[in-house]
Structure 1
């Protein structure tokens, strides 16, 4: 297998040095227990897990960013490669300089959608048939942008994509086609170096009639209501002070979130009132966590291990104990 491009290591290390620390941990009964690593991946082969989409049987579809692959990982750790995005001759991806498979989401019929950041005409959204196979590009996004996380509103047939460099949430028809700049604004924009990383809108989820977005540079969690005409409502800031926030997952039907804070090797529980506490740390095995997914009482966390001296990209599972937190707005689903 080919080794991870040196340029990618240099670029991601530069990002790490720029991030600020996350909020302090609060006391109280742990909300997440029994963490265990179920799969270790090969960093040298580019198996840096970036994002998660769950299967009905509990297995996790993950993107391996620098390997340009999508893999299915069982709860027993068994890993199978489903698809590989095509190689790009001269990638010119902003921030990292190399082609990378980023966000992933799943339709009910098992179709997977993936964002591919390349800085070329391949930049955009790709579709993978149920069970795997050759990916097909269904939407081209601006080459100067950085498509990151994405989510699917299957009822409306719309994919939403967070662009970390252009500070935009794009909407794309599920069948494919021309993208629309669905939401823009200062709250989604990056902060130019040296004050920031140049990485704005990052994680993204569709939840309770709204598109939720994290902004790494601003350290915020945002909510954008979807209007009846499918347009974007006003951007709301729901939480601040989340240093190094990447992608996130909801704990249930409510608005409580578990968010990956990738530089500090933490996962934070963010309550609906905006307060947060650390519920998983590097002692559990986190190594630059990039995304979180929740199914029932099971928490899934991917770690890409971009910046750690000892490389251990992995998939960690833990148990969510709903309703056992401290204070108002705790995790109750």
Structure 2
């Protein structure tokens, strides 16, 4: 595969980023919504498998997305220009749990520009793959069991470890950032899918926040917190919110509080979930959401990608303004 470098922002895109920062610098007025000014910046081709599953944001405000069905990593500037950074290797005989198709899921970015992604195939290719800062062919750095469905991915750069949420088996795997043998860091009924009547997706999104690993469970509609003990082991699983039907991935509004923005894929909604478990819709189908799968916050901007898995509408990337005076 030819080596690709990430695109630089165009002048118009750079202006958009500066404008977002300026807007975010103003405190929110009393009663002002947390998320405002939503607008779609890019549409994708569902027929080509361009179903955006997960997102990470570059320092310049551009976004790197996983196209689940196309097995691709895409780079999207704030003005919507899209280029393919990498394609995961084909798997001619996939046996992926639940899906039966080779699928790219979570993505995270290290400070040096390295990208890590989860790839699920039901074969030896299942695991965590690395794309270098200058592009190039993806390289598998950790192999997970063929029975795993690695979905959300989080990177703890301070301790040099990655966490992958296994939707099929109800496990959070821990892997050295440099690669190597995965460890089943925590397995718990709270992380598993609902037997028989569920969709088969338990642990989904995963984030590192304030000394803990946070995980969403799609089938159970819950947001969970797992403390990281001083020795690196997992503490007891805590339920922080319930009733979040069809929750997919999520992100924290700020590094300092426990309020999250959660993508509710089946409801075409992004919800603000408060520390007491209450929630309020901040983005809906009327804003352009079509089965949103993940949310990211960068500076004063909210990023939401919609995969349109069920709606059959055009997949897209939506940007909005975050009013940081709210979202405690």
TM-score (norm 2): 0.89
1:211 aligns with 2:247: no
Alpha-carbon deviation of 1:192? 1.9
Shift of 1:207: 1.1
Question: Corresponding residue for 1:246?
Answer: 248
Which residue number in structure 1 is paired with residue 263 of structure 2?
260
Matched, 1:166 2:190: no
Report 1:195-206 matches (<5 A). 195-206=197-208
Matched, 1:41 2:44: yes
Residue 17 of structure 1 corresponds to which residue in structure 2?
none
2:155 matched to 1:188?
no
> Which residue of structure 1 aligns with residue 320 of structure 2?
318
**Aligned pairs, number:** 297
State the shift of 1:40 in Å. Answer: 0.3
| Counterpart among 84, 93, 97 of residue 90 in structure 1 | 93
Q: Does 2:286 align with 1:283?
A: yes
Q: Distance in 2 between matches of 1:322 and 1:56?
A: 19
Deviations 1:216-237 (A, max 9, x none): 0110000111110011011110
Structure 1 residue corresponding to 2:150, chosen from 124, 142, 147: 147
Structure 1 residue aligned with 2:307? 304
Query: Unaligned 5+ residue runs, structure 1?
Result: 1-27, 325-330
Tell me which of 55, 75, 78 is aligned to 1:75. 78
How far off its partner does 1:185 sit?
0.6
* 1:52 aligned onto 2:52: no
The aligned residue for residue 17 of structure 2 is none
CA displacement, residues 245-301 of structure 1 (integer Å, 9 cap, x when unaligned): 000011112111000000110000001111111110000000000000001220000
Partner Cα separation in structure 2 for residue 110 and residue 77 of structure 1: 20
Asked whether the 8 Å contact 1:250–1:257 carries over to 2, the reply is yes
CA distance in 1, matches of 2:32, 2:79: 28
Distance 1:29 1:135 in 2: 44
1:122 maps to which of 120, 125, 129: 125
Q: What SS does the aligned partner of 2:117 have?
A: strand
- Three-state SS of the structure 2 residue aligned to 1:278 is strand
The 2-side partners of 1:248 and 1:152 are apart by 15
User: Secondary structure at the residue paired with 1:187?
Assistant: helix
Instruction: Tell me, in whole angstroms, the C-alpha distance in 2 between the residues paired with 1:67 and 1:136.
Output: 17
Q: Distance in 2 between matches of 1:322 and 1:276?
A: 17
Residue 29 (structure 1) shift: 4.4
3-state SS in 2 of match to 1:108: coil
Q: Supply the distance in 2 between the matched residues of 1:80 and 1:172 (Cα, whole angstroms).
A: 29
Partner of 2:139: 136
* Counterpart pick for 1:229 among 220, 228, 231: 231
Alignment TM-score, normalising by the size of structure 1? 0.88
Q: Which residue is equivalent to 1:18?
A: none
Cα offset, 1:89, TM superposition: 1.2
Aligned-pair CA distance for 1:30: 2.2
1:63 to 53, 63, 66: 66
CA distance in 2, matches of 1:317, 1:305: 17
Counterpart CA distance in 2 for 1:51 and 1:296 is 19
